[in-house]
């Protein structure tokens, strides 16, 4: 559970932007249980912005994902592509 009101607001924002679903498997996830998941991994230059780069995920899905970009679901795939292009990973 969130420790502070600010953290609560951030979780609420991320949860709402995720439509109450895990962005990896696209199944519903509860507000109390979801983990904050970097859509584009921080290790590859992804931002810490809850608006653009953090979505809700099940703990299980998050632990399975690691930095494998191929497991992203639409509409986040488009966001991935933009980032990949910026980094020169794809044309
Ligand atoms: Zn999931």
Q: How far is the CA of 17 from the centre of ligand 1 (A)?
A: 15
Q: Which structural domain range is residue 52 located in?
A: 5-86
Give the pLDDT confidence score for residue 2 in this predicted structure.
61
67 pLDDT more than 70: no
Band of pLDDT at residue 62, cut at 50, 70 and 90: confident
Q: How far is the CA of 56 from the centre of ligand 1 (A)?
A: 9
In a domain, 29, yes or no: yes
3-class DSSP assignment, residue 12: helix
74 pLDDT more than 60: no
Q: How far is the CA of 75 from the centre of ligand 1 (A)?
A: 15
Give the pLDDT confidence score for residue 15 in this predicted structure.
96
Q: How far is the CA of 3 from the centre of ligand 1 (A)?
A: 23
Q: How far is the CA of 24 from the centre of ligand 1 (A)?
A: 5
Q: How far is the CA of 60 from the centre of ligand 1 (A)?
A: 7
pTM of the predicted protein model: 0.68
In a domain, 91, yes or no: no
In a domain, 69, yes or no: yes
Nearest to 79 by CA among 40, 36, 38: 40
Task: Give the CATH number for residue 63.
Answer: 3.40.1800
Band of pLDDT at residue 77, cut at 50, 70 and 90: low
pLDDT tens column, 28-40: 999 999 999 988 8
Domain count of the chain? 1
Mean predicted lDDT score pLDDT of the chain: 82
Q: Which residue has the higher pLDDT, 70 or 54?
A: 54
43 pLDDT more than 90: no
Q: How far is the CA of 64 from the centre of ligand 1 (A)?
A: 10
């Amino acid at each position: 559970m969130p420790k502070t009101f600010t953290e609560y607001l951030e979780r609420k924002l991320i949860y709402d932007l995720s439509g109450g679903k895990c962005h990896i498997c696209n199944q519903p996830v509860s507000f109390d249980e979801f983990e904050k998941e970097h859509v584009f991994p921080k290790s590859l230059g992804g931002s810490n912005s809850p608006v653009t780069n953090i979505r809700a995920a099940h703990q299980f899905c998050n632990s399975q994902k690691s930095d494998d970009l191929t497991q992203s679901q639409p509409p986040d795939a488009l966001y991935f592509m933009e980032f990949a292009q910026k980094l020169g990973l794809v044309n």
